[in-house]
Structure formats: C-alpha cells, structure tokens
C-alpha cells in the first residue's frame, strides 16, 4: 500500500477527492448484484440497517461507509478488507494495495468480526439444495418468505439461535446437511480462543485505527464480558403506564407520542406490549400484581416497565394524584416476589420530573410538582439485588421536559437510539450513555433550560438485544 505516515494517499489538490470517488465508481462497475448483497451483509452492525436496506448498488454502500467514517481517501482499508473477504482481490489495485498488504494489516485493523466472517464463509458453502434441507429442518420456526443462505443465517442470528458464543444450532444443521462446513466452525473457535488468550482485537470500532494497544485490549475485554441470555421463546413483556389526565394537576400534553413510540420500538424488539392509560393508585397495584404473577415471564428473556407521568424525587404520581415510590413499584419484581424473572434483566424507564418545577416555555412543559426534600441517592430507588436497571429522564432534584406535540426529550431520544444502536449490537448501557449525550445537548427555545437523564443499575452482565429481523433482512 502506498502510505505517507497514517495515510494511503497524499492529498495535493482539490482534484484528489474526485479521483478517489472515480476509483470507487470503477470498483462499483466491477461488482455484481450478489457482490452488493455480500457487502451489505458484512456491513451489518457497522452501518445502520435502514441505510443498507435502501442500498441497491455498491456505490450506495460506499456512500454510507463514507458517511459513517468507515471509509475515506486517506484510509480506505475497510473497503479493502471487504473486497478481500468477497474474493474481489483484483479490485484492490484501485485502492493502491495488494492482497498481501491486506493480509498483513488484518490482525490489527480488522473491522468485520470473526463471527460475521464465519457466517459469510458458511453461506458460500451452503448451496441451494443444502439451504432447502436446512429450511426443512427448521420449517416450524421460519417465516414463509424466500431466503438466501445469507438471510437464513441472519435470521438464525436475529432469533438468538446462534451467536458468537453459541453455535450449537448451526453445528447440528451442518452435521446433518453439510458436514464439511464443521471445519469452518472449528477454525472459528480456535481463532476466537487464540484472540481471547492473546488479547488481540476481534473488532476494531470506527475511529480506532490510531488507538493504542491498551485501548484495543480494553475493548476486547469488554466484548468478552458475560451477556444476558436472549434466546428463549419470546423476548418478554413491556408494560407502559401512560398518565395524561389528573384530578387537579395539569394534563400531560404530548404523552401519547411517547406511548406510541415506546410501543412501536419495543414491539420491534420482540416484546409483547401492554399499555395502560390514566392509571389510578388502585389500578396501578392491580397492574403490578398481575405482572408479578404473569406466567409469561417463565419463557421470556427480559421485562420492561415504562411510566409516563408527573413526579417528584424518588416517586411518581398516579392519575388520581397518589404519590407512589419508584422503589415500591420495582420491588414487585425481585426474585422473591417474582421468581419467574429471577436472574433476568428488569428494565424500568420513567419519564417524570424528579425535582423542582421550572416555569415552562410555550411549547415545553415540565413533569414536576412541588418537590420536598428526598433521599440523596438514585440508587436508593433500586431493590438491593441484581439484574435491575432504572432509567430516569432527569437527575435527582431537576425537571424533565416534554414537548406538547412531539413528546418528551428523554423518551424520544431513548427510542431513537434503540432503533439506531441495537442493529449495531450496542449494549443497553452504551445506548443510555448516547441518550445522555443527546438529551444533555438539547435546550428549549429560549436556550435557558437543559436536562440530563440518569441511569442506575445492578445489572451483572451486558444486555444486548438481538437485532430484529427487518433490520437484518437484505
């Protein structure tokens, strides 16, 4: 590769970018329909899936790589890696590199994970007859749509039947239909084990090419962290309590937008959603008792409970204006009270102020009411046992904001980031960190009111939602 410092190309004039795009266009013209599908498959988790779905040509994919900072004229290595994987090595010349140079850099620059590499290799070894046999073996659990070997493997991944640490289903299928592919799986296991032992990165994130070895090893360690199981019969239940109207408190205009997007996103993630509107204290207790004893938890991976209402620190208001402590709500789902959810993640998202009311602007309202002195730690609201997460719209003592037409800053950001980052295999705490950053940058029309969400948790493992099928489909 022709390099100058960290660059593969030297930029001397304005025509350089045009020249680089011309090279991309030449590469595009030499790739067929199946090559484009292969590129899209390998980019899953690195490029937003909605963008991939709309890509009909290699140039479309390249445009997304440029937008995601995965490709540039100074550093086109990721494209070189993709071309190398799909066996279009002759096209590497247009990036001024050779296959030997790609092979030399792959151990430290690889972006496509070992697992996705394995799935791609296996897809190449599964012909149309093999695919029919595999589909026949899993007929009862497959959608009635035409599949390629790539989309078939992507579906197994989405359903949680396979992941980088669990290949049993895939091994059984290969053993029955294409035994020779078991060698690929064994090779993957060896390489994965070697990388874990040697601390080599299995996936280098965007912008990491200049990172130190310590940073890369830290990322690898994070990726090896234990992950909550997400492959039971169904994802779980999501309960939404949406309080709009109250006895004397101000109506919460725009809350229907939050309820709608929460319902949409968690259904997309595979949850069964139940919405309860304008819930009184007695009705809240009935909801909690019903959910605590719900037999559906036994076959679910996770439980989600969302509350949209007015509040003050450590507590939320029912529609008849009874103040209910958050800890009291969450305590219904401890291992003792709800054994079917033992050792499973229990997520609570609350859109309600937790402090002093602020005079709202015309289009922004606050979900706060006459606060009193309250406990000083948000952690006090969480039961003293593992596997809980509480996501609050604001830090203790402050208000949270809700647009009367568009919904609340926090819930809208939470749902948008779930849609964006779940397909990239981000864990829930990383997603909530991105939500914090997004909401903290928002201000009202006058530029005087800001908000900072805060999560508290006792999770023992990483929580990574499987990528929904419509996000994986190519």
Cα end-to-end span (Å), the chain: 32
Selecting among 310, 332, 417, 425, the annotated active-site residue is 310
pLDDT band per the 50, 70, 90 thresholds, residue 442: low
pLDDT tens-digit readout, 76-98:
999 999 999 999 999 999 998 89
State the pLDDT at residue 114.
Answer: 87
- Residue among 174, 353, 415, 417 flagged as catalytic: 353
The average confidence (pLDDT) of the chain is 79
Retrieve residue 197's tokens. Answer: 């032992």
Whether this model's pTM surpasses 0.95: no
Is 182 a residue whose pLDDT tops 70? Answer: yes
Asked if 302 is an active-site residue, the reply is no
The string of pLDDT tens digits covering residues 334-351 is: 988 898 998 899 999 998
Structure tokens at 67: 């937008």
Give 146: exposed, middle or buried? Use CB within 10 Å, 0-12, 13-18, 19+. exposed
Q: In what order do the strands lie in the sheet with 407-408?
A: 364-366, 401-403, 407-408
- Please tell me whether residue 132 adopts helix, strand or coil conformation: helix
For the residues 240-246, what does the mean pLDDT come to? 94
Query: Which residues contact residue 155 at a Cβ distance below 8 angstroms, ignoring those fewer than 6 apart?
Result: 142, 143, 147, 469, 472
pLDDT exceeds cutoff 80 at 62: yes
More confident residue, 277 or 49: 277
Identify any residues that bridge with 311 across adjacent strands, giving them in sequence order: 316, 368
More confident site: 437 or 325: 325
Task: Between 454 and 107, name the one with better pLDDT.
Answer: 107
Do the beta carbons of residue 134 and residue 177 sit within 8 Å?
yes
Strands (E) located in 60-216: none
User: Does residue 310 carry a catalytic annotation?
Assistant: yes
Q: What band does 163 get if pLDDT is binned at 50, 70 and 90?
A: confident
């Amino acid at each position: 590769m022709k390099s100058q410092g960290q660059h593969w190309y030297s930029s001397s004039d304005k025509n350089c970018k045009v020249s680089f795009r011309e090279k991309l266009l030449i590469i595009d013209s030499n790739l067929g329909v199946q090559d484009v599908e292969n590129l899209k498959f390998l980019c899953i988790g690195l490029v937003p899936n909605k963008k991939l779905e709309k890509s009909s040509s290699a140039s479309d994919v390249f445009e997304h790589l440029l937008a995601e900072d995965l490709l540039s004229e100074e550093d086109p290595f990721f494209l070189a890696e993709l071309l190398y994987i799909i066996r279009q090595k002759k096209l590497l010349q247009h990036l001024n590199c050779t296959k030997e140079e790609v092979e030399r850099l792959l151990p430290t620059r690889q972006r496509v994970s070992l697992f996705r590499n394995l799935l791609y290799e296996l897809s190449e070894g599964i012909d149309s007859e093999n695919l029919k046999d595999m589909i026949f073996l899993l007929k009862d659990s497959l959608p009635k749509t035409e599949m390629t070997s790539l989309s078939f493997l992507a579906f197994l991944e989405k359903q949680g039947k396979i992941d980088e640490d669990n290949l049993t289903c895939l091994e059984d299928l290969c053993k029955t239909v294409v035994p020779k592919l078991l060698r690929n799986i064994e090779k993957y296991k060896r390489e994965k084990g070697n990388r874990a032992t040697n601390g080599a990165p299995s996936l280098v994130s965007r912008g990491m090419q200049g990172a130190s070895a310590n940073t890369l090893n830290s990322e690898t360690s994070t990726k090896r962290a234990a992950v909550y199981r997400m492959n039971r019969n169904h994802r779980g239940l999501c309960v939404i309590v949406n309080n709009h109207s109250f006895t004397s408190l101000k109506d919460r205009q725009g809350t229907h937008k939050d309820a709608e997007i929460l319902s949409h996103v968690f259904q997309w993630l595979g949850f069964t959603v139940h919405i309860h509107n304008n819930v009184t204290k007695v009705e809240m207790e009935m909801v909690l008792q019903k959910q605590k004893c719900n037999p559906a938890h036994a076959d679910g991976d996770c439980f989600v409970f969302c509350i949209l209402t007015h509040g003050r620190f450590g507590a939320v208001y029912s529609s008849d204006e009874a103040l209910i402590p958050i800890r009291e709500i969450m305590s219904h789902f401890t291992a003792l009270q709800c054994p079917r959810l033992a050792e499973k993640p229990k997520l609570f998202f609350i859109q309600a102020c937790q402090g002093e009311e602020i005079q709202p602007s015309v289009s922004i309202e606050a979900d706060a009411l006459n606060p009193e002195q309250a406990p000083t730690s948000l952690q006090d609201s969480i039961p003293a046992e593992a596997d809980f997460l509480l996501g609050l719209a604001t830090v203790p003592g402050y208000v949270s904001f809700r647009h009367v037409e568009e919904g609340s800053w926090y819930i809208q950001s939470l749902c948008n980031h779930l849609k964006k980052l779940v397909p990239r295999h981000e864990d829930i705490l990383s997603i909530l960190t991105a939500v914090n950053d997004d909401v903290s940058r928002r201000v009202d029309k006058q530029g005087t009111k800001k908000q900072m969400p805060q999560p508290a948790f006792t999770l023992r493992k990483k929580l990574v939602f499987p990528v929904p099928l419509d996000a994986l489909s190519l």
